[in-house]
Amino acid sequence: MKEIYMDNAATTKIDQKVIKAMLPYFDQKYGNASSTHTKGREAKNAMESARKVIAKSIGAAAEEIIFTSGGTESNNFAIKSIAFNNKEKGNHIITTKIEHDCVLNSCKWLQTQGFDVTYLDVDKEGFVRPEVLEKAITPKTILVTIIHGNNEIGTIQDLKALGEICKKHEIYLHTDACQSYTKTEINVKKQPVNLITLNAHKIHGPKGVGALYIRKGTNIKAWQHGGGHERNLRSGTENLPGIVGFAEAAKIANDKKHVKYMAGLRDKLIEGIEKNIPECKLNGPRGEKRLCNNINFVFSRIEGEAIGGYLDLKGVSSSTGSACSSHTLEPSHVLQAIGLSKAEANGSLRLSISRYTTEEEIGYVLEILPGIVKKLRLISPL
């Protein structure tokens, strides 16, 4: 049976070059980067070289990059630390209804700690309108946190426009860029963003490592305490093999030809589905405003979980939404936020590709998916 992986928004397979770069740091160059002996200095040098790579990839300075255990930690750190360290200015935070669960749950927790949170509506394609953001700002607003590339529907927000509004009102802007990193432009010299969450395992790097960009001058303090690692901002012995792998993955992924290749396959899959399957609807925007690897459809009168199950039997890995909330039976909050009913949201299917996806694999999915949908509709009680 074929094995076709189209759940790359959940995680990606590690590039063999990344594995090769990591291996020496497990059994040869295994020193602690905080140690002062030769092996410690060797580890420190490797970590700082990796930091420079990540910084350069977004136009930042190396000292503005803090390594973390991944996107969830970076998002929690950014949102909670900014909130508590800027309470003298205000207690109001703005986010959106289409954020990743770790952002939404962090904001909900902050509400139990005396903070007010506004959850912005988005339009039918998932975009935050700049005028809607500006209208929500109050004298007590201290932080805006908006996802850059949406993990479910692929919408890419205009960080420059949103950032200019925040800058004008002297409010910090944080963005979760785990899905968009290396897939669309992120440049802190052009986009006035104060904090950016990044991670490795969405770009063919290892799981369990990420980073937080913190613009110089941002009023933030440690959220995790200990031995004072990462310039006293994130204590804990650094995951050196992971960090080295993260940097190697970033170097490879920053090749723009990968983005062009994935966008071509994305559009071929979208066009094929729309041509061959009636009563389906693309969720999110088209073209350059959509992540190059994201395809998300609603198929009327059937369950997305059922489609995914049949695809799995045919060797195709897919998803009905975010992998982090796949254990729940609740319809996608993202799809409901763009105006879909619960029944429509339950009929969604996400296919997310990578630079390893082939035209042959796209063709195979287009060959089997129409039959699966037709079969499920024939037995559907809806």
Concatenating the DSSP letter of every residue in 192-248 gives --SEEEEESTTTT--SS-EEEEE-TT-----SB-SS-HHHHTB-S---HHHHHHHHH
Range(s) of the chain covered by CATH 3.90.1150.10: 4-12+256-379
**Residue-wise pLDDT tens for the chain (382 aa)?**
789 999 999 999 999 999 999 999 999 999 999 999 999 999 999 999 999 999 999 999 999 999 999 999 999 999 999 999 999 999 999 999 999 999 999 999 999 999 999 999 999 999 999 999 999 999 999 999 999 999 999 999 999 999 999 999 999 999 999 999 999 999 999 999 999 999 999 999 999 999 999 999 999 999 899 999 999 999 999 999 999 999 999 999 988 899 999 999 999 999 999 999 999 999 999 999 999 999 999 999 999 999 999 999 999 999 986 444 455 568 899 999 999 999 999 999 999 999 999 999 999 999 999 999 999 999 987 7
| Three-state DSSP class for residue 9 | coil
Range(s) of the chain covered by CATH 3.40.640.10: 16-253
Q: What is the pLDDT of residue 160?
A: 98
As given in the structure block, the two tokens for residue 75 are 């998002």
Q: What is the pLDDT of residue 2?
A: 85
Residues comprising the chain, all counted: 382
Asked about 324 being catalytic, the answer comes back as yes
User: Which homologous superfamily does the CATH classification assign to the domain defined by 4-12+256-379?
Assistant: Aspartate Aminotransferase, domain 1 (3.90.1150.10)
Burial class of 1 by CB neighbour count within 10 A (0 to 12, 13 to 18, 19+):
exposed
Q: What is the pLDDT of residue 328?
A: 59
CB atoms closer than 10 angstroms to residue 19? 14
Q: What is the pLDDT of residue 329?
A: 65
The active-site residue out of 102, 107, 178, 324 is 324
Provide the CATH topology of domain 16-253: Aspartate Aminotransferase; domain 2 (3.40.640)
Q: Please give the Cα distance from 153 to 368 (Å, whole number).
A: 22
